Structure 1
Amino acid sequence: MRHINDFTPDDLAARVLHRDGLMLVVDKPAGLPVHAGPKGGANLEQMFDALRFGLPRNPALAHRLDKDTSGCLVLGRHRKALARLGKLFSNGRVAKTYWAVVRGAPEADEGRIDAALAKRSPERGWWMAVDPAGQPSVTEWKVMARGAGLAWIAFSPLTGRTHQIRVHAAHIGLPLLGDPIYGAEAAGGAALHLHARALSIPMREKLPPVVVEAPLPPHMAATFAALGWEAPAPISTGDVAPI
């Protein structure tokens, strides 16, 4: 892919991982926000016209990913679908798997982080911290590989708080590689190694859930290659149906 500043609506359309009459799942590139911030600038939402695929209105975000997080991003294709997706996400029925590279090597092979999160600053709503008085937040994790003072971990957030994985990982002494906010990454250092690898979405009650996986972004693939880590073959990449 070209530099992120040159990302186009056609590039976004080419990154559709799943499409049906209710929703889309796209492979969000790292470095591009999903919507415009206070200062404006390029964002995915302004390109959604390229994702109508014959419907009269643009799709809309069913959830969010951070600017520097890559991978599976879900869009609802119309109002009823968005309402359904909103309930599934808010009720914790969408199973989410994130891959991350962390600094450190946990002794255990897996674990569970149960640490409430709250806003660290009322002026910066995205800036979070562990706080017993905050909202309940739970993340399960499993080590996939270790090497060179780093570990590849699969995180499964059971709640959906802002920056949950980043804060929880730092809380147990395993800050994400490339995280300058909750880790100790120097400016201009490694890019954030956090990837929304897979989703399982029970969109229709009487049918199996839609399972979608996103390939590693280039910077994480390069790290995996350098450390000799081999990602498993995808179990599914969803269906792209002409609907």
Structure 2
Amino acid sequence: VEEGGRPRMLIAKPDRKGKLSAATAWRVVSRTGNHAVLELSPETGRMHQIRAHLMGAGCPILGDHLYGTGQRSADRLMLHAQSLEITHPDGERRTFSAPVPSEFERVATRLGLALEYGT
């Protein structure tokens, strides 16, 4: 689906032609009120998969102007790849990690959320 010239994924009904399956494993890391920190692991690699799944579940990502509520909830998309694991062309599995951005820490503190990944 395209909205305003930007591609956007949707949650398809079972009988929709051309649909592709997508699966995302998840767990709640911390929660307070209407906000939560989630650890998400996409099991497939569809475009915007995590964003579309969370929108479809009624819990869009803070700062998501494409799949979110339309309200300015954060200055940036609060989605971070803590680690990525790939099979390198040489056949070896490689893992790349990145620290949590300071903006995430500020938003989590403001909302009373704990950032404890990989536990």
The answer to whether structure 1 residue 195 and structure 2 residue 76 are counterparts is no
Between the aligned partners of 1:176 and 1:122, the Cα distance in structure 2 is 18
DSSP-derived class of the 2:106 partner: helix
Residue pair 1:126, 1:162 contacting (<8 A) in 2 also: no
The number of aligned residues is 111
| Residue identity matched to 1:201 | I
The answer to whether structure 1 residue 211 and structure 2 residue 92 are counterparts is no
Give the alignment partner of residue 155 of structure 1, picking from 11, 35, 40.
40
Between the aligned partners of 1:139 and 1:155, the Cα distance in structure 2 is 7
* Matching of residues 64-143 of structure 1 within 5 Å: 120-121=1-2, 124=5, 126-132=7-13, 133=16, 134-143=19-28
> How far is 1:152 from its partner?
0.5
Q: TM-score, normalised by structure 2?
A: 0.77
DSSP-derived class of the 2:31 partner: strand
* Superimposed CA distance per residue, residues 75-116 of structure 1 (whole angstroms, 9 cap, x where no aligned partner): xxxxxxxxxxxxxxxxxxxxxxxxxxxxxxxxxxxxxxxxxx
Give the 4+ runs in structure 1 shifted more than 4 A: none
Between the aligned partners of 2:58 and 2:107, the Cα distance in structure 1 is 21
Show structure 1 runs of 5+ residues with no match.
1-119, 235-243
Structure richer in strand, relative to its length: 1
Between the aligned partners of 1:162 and 1:124, the Cα distance in structure 2 is 16
The answer to whether structure 1 residue 222 and structure 2 residue 106 are counterparts is yes
Larger Rg: 1
Task: Give the corresponding residue for 1:171.
Answer: 56
Residue pair 2:37, 2:113 contacting (<8 A) in 1 also: no
Identity %: 30
DSSP-derived class of the 2:25 partner: strand
Show structure 2 runs of 5+ residues with no match.
none
Residue pair 2:27, 2:40 contacting (<8 A) in 1 also: yes
> How far is 1:123 from its partner?
7.8
| Residue identity matched to 2:86 | I
Q: TM-score, normalised by structure 1?
A: 0.41
- Alignment root-mean-square deviation, CA: 2.4
> How far is 1:121 from its partner?
2.8
| Residue identity matched to 1:182 | Y
